[in-house]
Structure formats: C-alpha cells, structure tokens
C-alpha cells in the first residue's frame, strides 16, 4: 500500500507570506495527525482529525494555523501569515480507525523555513 505522502518536502518563504502544506494519508485511514518539530525542540502534537472532524486541536499554536481535511481524505495545514518561529519540520501521520493509539504511519515531513 502507498504510504503517507507529504508535499512539498521543502518550502522556503518570507515572513508574512502564506504557505499550505498537504498530507495524503494511507487510503482508508480515518485518523490523521499533524506534528511539528521546531529546531532543537521535541516533536509536538498539533492536531488530530477523525475523518473530516477535528478530534483534538489542543496543540495548534495560534490562529495563524488552519487545518482542514476535505471529505475525510487529504489534509492541508495553512500558515497565514508565517512568522520566523514557524520554521521547522511538519510531520503528518495516519492510522486506521481500529488502531487508534498505536497504528501510526508517518510521512517524510515538510521542512518549512521562514526567512
């Protein structure tokens, strides 16, 4: 089966611009997660979708971040306007509905650099 796909793999934008990251989960996986690693820090949870609904968005840093999951398939994470501190690697993961909590598959990540 195809894995979790993220794109772009790298993005360099200027402060104040908008960037949209995309994640395509494994087909049929109801659960989709976004995580972020800022340089020098641990990987942190951003939010969790179950199908198209936000189950938990407690990790979203502020209202400049907007996540959507259209029709319960792919997800986008938009940062608008981007700030320097948003730089980092953004990971997406998905898991089947019957393996919540342990059936994760991660994508390769998007490295975002805000200059």
Find the shortest distance in angstroms from Cβ 114 to another protein: 20
Which of 42, 62, 71, 84 touches another protein by CB under 8 A? 42
Whole-number Å distance between alpha carbons of 8 and 10: 5
CA 82 to chain CA centroid, nearest Å: 15
Find the shortest distance in angstroms from Cβ 17 to another protein: 24
Output Rg (C-alpha) for the chain, integer angstroms. 13
Sign of dihedral through CA atoms 46, 95, 113, 21? negative
Q: Which residues contact 53 (CB under 8 A, 6 or more apart)?
A: none
69 touching another protein, by CB under 8 A = no
35 forms beta bridges with 45, 91
44 touching another protein, by CB under 8 A = yes
31 touching another protein, by CB under 8 A = yes
Q: How many helices and strands (H and E) does the chain possess?
A: 0, 11
Count residues contacting another protein (CB under 8 A)? 24
Which of 11, 23, 24, 33 touches another protein by CB under 8 A? 33
48 touching another protein, by CB under 8 A = yes
Site for another protein, rule CB under 8 A: 31, 33, 35, 41-45, 48, 55-56, 59, 91, 93, 95, 100-102, 104-109
């Amino acid at each position: 089966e195809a894995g979790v796909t993220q794109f772009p793999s790298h993005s360099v934008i200027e402060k104040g611009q908008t960037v949209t990251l995309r994640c395509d989960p494994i087909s049929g996986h109801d659960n989709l997660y976004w995580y972020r690693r800022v340089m020098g820090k641990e990987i942190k949870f951003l939010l969790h979708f179950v199908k198209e609904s936000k189950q938990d968005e407690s990790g979203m840093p502020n209202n400049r971040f907007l996540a959507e999951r259209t029709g319960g398939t792919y997800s986008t994470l938009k940062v608008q306007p981007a700030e320097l501190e948003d730089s980092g690697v953004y990971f997406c993961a998905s898991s089947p509905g019957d393996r919540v909590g342990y059936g994760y598959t991660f994508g390769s990540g998007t490295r975002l650099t805000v200059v």
